[in-house]
Structures are given as C-alpha cells and as structure tokens.
Structure 1
C-alpha cells in the first residue's frame, strides 16, 4: 500500500509541476529500411512510442511513393514518421502541432532519417478561422492539450503564457503548397474533439481531392455529435472503418451509423468509395 501511494504521489507531483523534458534518439531496425531513428520524448507522462515495419505497411496500403500527406495534431511525430517512410523522400508530409514543447520534439524527428523521408514540421494549429488561440492542458508538462477561444476552457487549468497561431488548412495549402495539392492522399486529424469542426472547414478540399481520412471519435462526444461526425464523412462518399491501431495487422471493422457509440474513444479510417 505504501509503495502504491508513493507512486501515486510522485505521478501527481510530475503532473502538477512544470518541467521541460528533453528527448532521446533511439534506433529501430526496420526490414525495408534498416536503421531508422526516432526522437523519444522523455516526459514521464508520455506513453512510450515505438516505430515498426507494421506501421509503415499500414500506411502503404493507402499511400504510394511521392504522395502529399497532412498530419494535424502530429504530436512528437510517432505517426508522422511511418507516413513519411511510406511515401518516401520524394513525398511530403506536413506535421502540424501548436504545442511549443511537443513541437521541439517533432522538429527533431523531422530532421532524422532524411535519406528516407521529407517531413516539414509546422508550429501551427488548424482552425476554422485564422487567428490566435489559447492553449491549455490538464498536465503542467503539457503532454496533452488543445486550443480554445477563451482562457478558461475544457482542456485543463495549465495554460501557455503565449497564444498559439491558428490557420485555415485549405487557404494555407493553396498559398504555400499549391503544386502538392494534386498529390494529396491522406489527412490525419487528432485534435481533442475538434475533428468535426476541421472536417467541416475543409469540405471543398475533400470534395475536390478525396484524400483518405484518419480522425478520432473523441471520448466526450455525445451520441448526437457522433452521428453528426459520421454523417458528415459518409455523405462525402466515404466508407468508415474502426481501427484498433495503425498497424498492418490491426483489427479493422466497417462502421455504420449505429456503431458510433460502440466504443468510448476510437480512431476511424475513412476511405473514398471507388
């Protein structure tokens, strides 16, 4: 009992005390590539991330060399790297994350494996209008969090001293990457329940280019909100699938509207119908 209480107190202390944690570069031996490097964040509250050939092969099922990929809410780049390996150095992956402490690790991961990948990190939030936003977390180490228009919000009591910049994705891409847009084949969205708003804001982009989509059904969404999210994507001509993990051997299950309440928090892969 004493050791349990001690561990609980230590975790609480970490969670409520600000500290900027460094990264450590580790290597993985992937059959297709050989040695692949990964900058792992040493924040003790961060779930340990790994790279595998199975992750790369998951994305290779829906991507090809040279494709253009958008990773919104890229975090430290644990999904960005497998995507980038799947599309190769001739492809491009934009990794968006507004959290300055997480972005530093994402930036390091973008610098690694340059012989295999082309990752462009961007310290920006994707929003429904361009502006500056508050960023809050439930942890003082900013291991998680999200943006909001007000200083007091649902994301937590620990707020950054400075606001983060938000941009509209379609306008940003048309202004900065117009030559890449015809090659757009995947948009991944992980924004703490803000996914529906982002999808609504990029409807013309989705209708024109029909990229694959990966997004969350956030734990706090109501039944009605889950149905809105499903209808929004399904009505665009997509088939939706529950995925347990982003790995070639993962469980994959077709989702109907009534399945949106089967799981509390889960990831969805949406593939355009042929």
Structure 2
C-alpha cells in the first residue's frame, strides 16, 4: 500500500472519530508511555488507535537484550520510537535527533510527560547528513501528515506537510564524537530519502561498533537524488552487513528483491544486520 493510500484511510478514521465526538487533542498513555497527541496528525492517530507507530522497527527479534542499550533515533519526530525504547531498556542511553521546530518541540513535550524516561533520552536538533556541510539553509523536511484541512505546502506524493529546516547539519560520526558515546547498539533512520547521505556519514561508527540499523527506503525519493538500491547494497557490502526485512530472516540482496516489497510510490523499512 503506498503512502498516499495510507493517508487517505487515516483521514477516514480521523473524521469518523471526530463525528462520534472524540476530542482532537488529548494526553494518552500507551504501554506505560504518555503522549500529547493531536488526532489530526498521522503518527498521533496511529498511537491513539493502535498503541504504537511502526512497531516492527523496534521488534524484539532485531534488538539486543542488554542493560546498557545505546541507540540513535534519526527522524525522531514526536518520540514514537525513542520513548518506547527508553521504556523497554531501563539502563538505556538514546539520542533522539529531529531537525524541524514543529516536531522537535512536540518531542520535548512528550519526553517531559515521562519523567522516569527523561534521563535516558538526549534530544539533538540537527539535520543529519554526510558531514560535508555545516548548515542546512532552506532544506525542507516533512515531519507532519495532517489529516484535516490545515493550510500549508504538501509533498506531491506522500502528502506530508513541509517545514523549513534552519538548524545545523551533523553526521552520525560527528554526533557520536559530540555525545561521547563509547558503544552503539541500534540506529533508526527515517528521513524521506536522505538515508544514504546519512549512512555515508556513519562509516567509522558502523565499522567500529557494528550496530543494527533500520532505515526507510523508497524508490522515488532516492531516484530524485540519483541513488539506486544497488548503492545501498554496495555500501553495506563494503561493511560486511546484510540488508533484510525487519524480521531479520528475509534477505533483500538486490533491487529486484526490493521492488517486490517496496510499494510503488510508497516506502518500506529495511534492517541492516552485521554478518
């Protein structure tokens, strides 16, 4: 199912809830984690209705069971991944990275709603890349999928609402050094087609600590930037990683295999696992 279809179904659910009297904004608790949600936002609606967002990203089959779990959540948005991770791992250290003012403020609000988890999460407002630039002037990110008729520029394919990014650019290798990390177990990257640039800025970190990664991939965004799935396989082959589905069992060795699972004009989350 492509993203536009998913958003269309979410709009039906949202308007149905509003018709039967559900208030649009509320604080909810899901699996022991509190969120300040706006049901007119796609991620928030998923948390409200299903208790999670992209739960396969942090499935038990992917992540190590350890007390000092350390992760970087790139494209943290409102905290739908980093907060459940912090709840699962009491001794964890999680760096949550979000570039847009809109989502970064909501991320901080949701962390504040969970004081027991707050010491485990460090927020960083940065636009992640390969480390070749210091700032991201005029860059556009799409952290919001509005389900109402709110004004604003929308992405032509996935209908995300555009926000201008003005924060500094940072690489994963730079972030690791900045935060003084001494190990790393997991990286999540969900950045609307910037994933390969971010990976290029993580080569030293991946070679040193070999964390598991989950990254979003869609053909149309990568093709806009001149990238193919073969560029991803070549990158991970050079570091002795395999690309697979998030079940950690189904390998995705080439573009033909990727096209069988990535919807046209949609995306899929892949895992990169050390061999």
TM-score (norm 2): 0.70
Structure 2 gaps, min length 5: 1-7, 12-23, 147-154
Task: Report the structure, 1 or 2, having the larger strand content.
Answer: 1
Q: Is the counterpart of residue 200 in structure 1 residue 200 in structure 2? A: yes
Q: Tell me which residue corresponds to 1:3.
A: none
Would the aligned equivalents of 2:38 and 2:44 in 1 still touch at CA under 8 Å? no
RMSD, aligned CA? 3.4
Deviation, 1:57, is 7.0
Greater relative contact order, per chain length (Cα 8 Å cut-off, separation 6+): 2
1:93 positional shift:
0.8
Q: Is 2:38 the counterpart of 1:41?
A: yes
In 2 relative to 1, CA 71–130 (structure 1 residues): closer, same or farther, beyond 3 Å? Answer: same
Q: Which residue of 2 aligns with 1:150?
A: none
Measured after TM superposition, the shift of residue 211 of structure 1 is 0.7
The aligned counterpart of 1:95 is 96
1:183 match: secondary structure: coil
The alignment of Structure 1 onto Structure 2 pairs a total of residues equal to 229
- 1:214 deviates by 0.7
Compute the displacement of 1:159 (Å).
6.0
Residue of structure 1 equivalent to 2:231: 228
| Cα pair 1:41 1:105 within 8 Å, conserved | no
- 1:132 aligns to 2:136 (yes or no): yes
1:172–1:42 CA distance, 2 compared to 1 (3 A): same
Contact 1:125 1:165 survives alignment (8 Å) = yes
Tell me: CA distance 1:120–1:42, structure 2 relative to 1, closer, same or farther (3 Å): farther
The answer to which of 166-175 and 210-219 deviates more is 166-175
* SS across alignment from 2:137: strand
Q: Normalising by the residue count of structure 1, what TM-score does the alignment of the two structures yield?
A: 0.70
Contact 2:140 2:165 in 1 (8 A): no
Structure 1 stretches of 5 or more lacking a match?
A: 1-7, 12-21, 145-152, 244-249
